[in-house]
Structure 1
Amino acid sequence: MELPCGLLLLLFLTVSSSSAAATLAVSTAPVPAPAPRPAQDAEGLLINGNFEAAPRKLNKTLIVGRHSLPGWTLRGHVEYVSGGPQPGGMFFAVPRGVHALRLGSRASASQNVSVRPGSLYALTFAATRTCAQDEALRVAVSPSLSPPADVAVRTLYSGADADTWAWGFRASSAIAQVTFANPGVQEDVACGPLIDAVAIKELPTPYPTKDNLIKNPGFEIGPQVLKNSSVGVLLPPKQKDTTSPLPGWIIESLKAVRFIDAGHFSVPAGQFAVELVAGRESAIAQVIRTVPNRAYNLSFVVGDARNGCHGSMLVEAFAGNVTQKVPFQSAGKGGVRPASFRFLATGDRTRLTFYSSYYHTKASDGVSLCGPVLDQVKVVPLKA
């Protein structure tokens, strides 16, 4: 049956009007934005932070092209190397996965990361020397409120294993360029430090409480510890409290201290502690607010990390004009000993310092540096 022309026209106009309304409804609906690509994974690794994504172009081990390595921008002679024995009798220790970067003379690798202006961050990375005894790794973040620093990788704290380090910086913009560089020039242009497992972690600001004048007393706020790393994290010397990778604490010594975790070491309390690994050259300090001529009590615990460090240990603690020596006989089984003493504040600021009086190495190899563990530091005012 044929419909009248008038009815056909009415049906056409009705359908056209409905289609236009549907189109309008679709076009005005909000379209969800694509999720931003995270700069780090759940463990804090930067994009290709373990360097397992291979470069697009290689000349043997030399990376060809500034942007050939996914996630990174390169300058100079940068090699993509595998762990294990190398030609010439060297051995490259790669702590995570199979591959790492070798930075030759004046070479660098950088990556942009998203950060929060004003916040404190810690970079964690593995590094070791490959040639000369005096190799260093320069760490810089731009822009930031922290100057570049050279980490001396000539001292091998962990023996045959690659050392893991942390370096702190305070961000000054939403995007920060993280750069690792070899500041030295060697006769062999390929010689330079090896880097791997680069991670980042934002660190909250610790505060004293009414029950304890110490900030971060149990060292629970600290750098990222990679799950498969059993060597701890070294905190470089001469770190100020404003940019220290261990918030609240100053690494004021010539050598590093080690940040250790309960997953791989014996920790007296909580999840983290500090190991004083280089005798009197490995000191940690904090400056607290005090009332002049008022008495305070300082308490802390010492122990061993259950990492093969045996023998007679001695921790010296300083508060104001008072010194306390705390001996500890380590059997390497993770024992602890509490200690405390009273001191009188002479000003509105009092410096507390801890270091190990003796030098220790692991009994298993006689090379890896180790020492007593410090934890649970507490200062309370005493009643007049």
Structure 2
Amino acid sequence: MGMAEGMMRCRCMALLVLVGVAASAVSAVSDGLLPNGNFKDGPAKSELNGTVVMGRHSIPNWEISGFVEYIQSGHTQGGMMVAVPEGASAVRLGNDASIRQNIRVTRRAYYSVTFSAARTCAQAEKLNVSVAADSGVLPVQTVYNSGGWDSYSWAFRAMHSAVWLAIHNPGVEEDPACGPVIDAIAIKTLQPPTKTKGNMLRNGDFEDGPYIFPDSPWGVLVPPMDEDSCSPLPGWMIMSSTKVVKYVDAPRYRVPHGARAVELVAGREAALVQEVRTVAGRSYRLQFYVGDAANGCKESMVVEAYVAAASLKVQYQSQGKGGYRRAMLDFVAVGNLTRVVFQSLHYHMKVDGTLCGPVVDDISLVSVHKRAARRLFM
């Protein structure tokens, strides 16, 4: 082998090594926690100044920017314990700080991201979650769980096979250590929202939705979103300025049908909405379950359904032990696009201060061939 050939082979080997290193920096993901998504692997002690992370790549699998702290369970600030949502460690994002990870995904596929967040000093904190040009601002000022933290969801459609998933705190506080605490970041592939046989609505039974942590007993919040946004609850939009609905599952809650349902935890301040194509003048029937999640929410509940020019208030007396009733609303479409809307008329709260509300599930819409009338039955 000549010198020129040897040098060429060395260059090829070096190029392969560099490609391998670059590829290893992109994490191939499957449903569940992202690599080091619970921040179990933290910075070396030499890369910490107290709790402040000093290096951009000090946290394994993550890249940070700005004032980021590595918080462990039991950490106190100003005489108060800082909530670590899950596990033993988390990160806190200070003023204009962010944390991101490069992940390998399937191009054009839909994904939901679930993460837990706890508020610290500020009363009106927000988090900006983004993948490339897609982004969403999630309000975290209301705490729905008595433990001091909640799990949030956000969704995106992958336009490339490798993307940067980032969580950014856009807040500016006098104390940079007053940002929200982030923990347990997971991902899930969503199915494109499709209709099932005998139902004009997409994902009417809520069986497809964001990832729910197996050991978390508080469900996942689905935040408000623009009408053009990708939804972590396929087929459905959440219309609100700052409030949410909660996505719950059968292992930890009582759901009327199947394995998933939606709990309306924000009263009139949040609406569950889906738009469906209809024929003006044609009769349709909307059916759905209203119940409670067996989570101790003992209240007299009312869910109001709006569709076309019709509405129906469904009352449900909850004992907090689970149960449901079936409701039906017949109506005549007034246009070629009809909005189906659900709201809880009242706020509800458990004795421990946790916000709660009625559960809706198994929503179906079908065309009928008779004059419209309203009916409600058990």
273, 283, 297: which one aligns with 2:271: 283
Distance 2:308 2:74 in 1: 50
- Residue 62 (structure 1) shift: 0.9
Map of 1:378 onto structure 2: 364
Map of 1:321 onto structure 2: 309
Tell whether 2:163 aligns with 1:176: yes
Instruction: Say if 1:242 and 1:248, in contact at 8 Å, map to a contact too.
Output: no
**Further displaced range: 234-243 or 200-209:** 234-243
Tell whether 2:306 aligns with 1:331: no
Tell whether 2:156 aligns with 1:149: no
Tell whether 2:212 aligns with 1:225: yes
Aligned 1:160-309 pairs, distance under 5 A: 160-240=147-227, 242-254=229-241, 255-309=243-297
Distance 1:308 1:269 in 2: 19
C-alpha distance after superposition, 1:119-160 (max 9, x if no partner): 211110001111111221111111x5x2x2221211111123
In the superposition, the TM-score normalised over structure 2's length comes to: 0.88
Calculate percent identity across the aligned residue pairs.
Answer: 48
- Residue 39 (structure 1) shift: 3.1
Map of 2:105 onto structure 1: 115
Map of 1:55 onto structure 2: 43
Task: Specify the code of the residue in structure 2 equivalent to 1:383.
Answer: H
Q: Secondary structure at the match of 1:109?
A: strand
| Unaligned segments of structure 1, at least 5 residues | 1-33
Map of 2:355 onto structure 1: 369
Task: Specify the code of the residue in structure 2 equivalent to 1:161.
Answer: G
- Residue 242 (structure 1) shift: 4.9
Write out the 4+ residue segments of structure 1 that deviate beyond 4 Å after TM superposition: 40-43
C-alpha distance after superposition, 1:51-101 (max 9, x if no partner): 000112211111110001000001111100012351313232223210000
Distance 1:40 1:325 in 2: 47
Instruction: Say if 1:318 and 1:354, in contact at 8 Å, map to a contact too.
Output: yes
337, 341, 345: which one aligns with 1:353: 341
Instruction: Say if 1:301 and 1:339, in contact at 8 Å, map to a contact too.
Output: yes
Q: 1:260 to 1:107 in 2, by over 3 A?
A: same
Q: How many residues align?
A: 345
Instruction: Say if 2:245 and 2:265, in contact at 8 Å, map to a contact too.
Output: yes
C-alpha distance after superposition, 1:279-337 (max 9, x if no partner): 00121010111111110110000000111211100000011000000000000011101
Q: 1:176 to 1:220 in 2, by over 3 A?
A: same
Map of 1:136 onto structure 2: 126
Q: 1:127 to 1:202 in 2, by over 3 A?
A: same
68, 86, 96: which one aligns with 1:78: 68
Distance 1:61 1:287 in 2: 48
- Residue 237 (structure 1) shift: 1.1
- Residue 115 (structure 1) shift: 1.5
Distance 1:112 1:42 in 2: 14
- Residue 223 (structure 1) shift: 0.5
Distance 2:179 2:312 in 1: 43
Root mean square deviation, CA, Å: 1.7
Task: Specify the code of the residue in structure 2 equivalent to 1:127.
Answer: A
C-alpha distance after superposition, 1:209-236 (max 9, x if no partner): 3411010011000010110111100000
In the superposition, the TM-score normalised over structure 1's length comes to: 0.86
- Residue 114 (structure 1) shift: 1.1
Please identify the structure whose Cα radius of gyration is greater.
1
Map of 2:15 onto structure 1: none
Distance 1:70 1:62 in 2: 15
Task: Specify the code of the residue in structure 2 equivalent to 1:183.
Answer: P
Task: Specify the code of the residue in structure 1 equivalent to 2:166.
Answer: T
C-alpha distance after superposition, 1:155-189 (max 9, x if no partner): 11112331000001111111110111110111112
**Further displaced range: 319-328 or 42-51:** 42-51
| Unaligned segments of structure 2, at least 5 residues | 1-19, 371-378
Task: Specify the code of the residue in structure 1 equivalent to 2:250.
Answer: A
Task: Specify the code of the residue in structure 2 equivalent to 1:381.
Answer: S
Distance 2:252 2:314 in 1: 25
Distance 2:354 2:85 in 1: 16
Task: Specify the code of the residue in structure 2 equivalent to 1:121.
Answer: Y
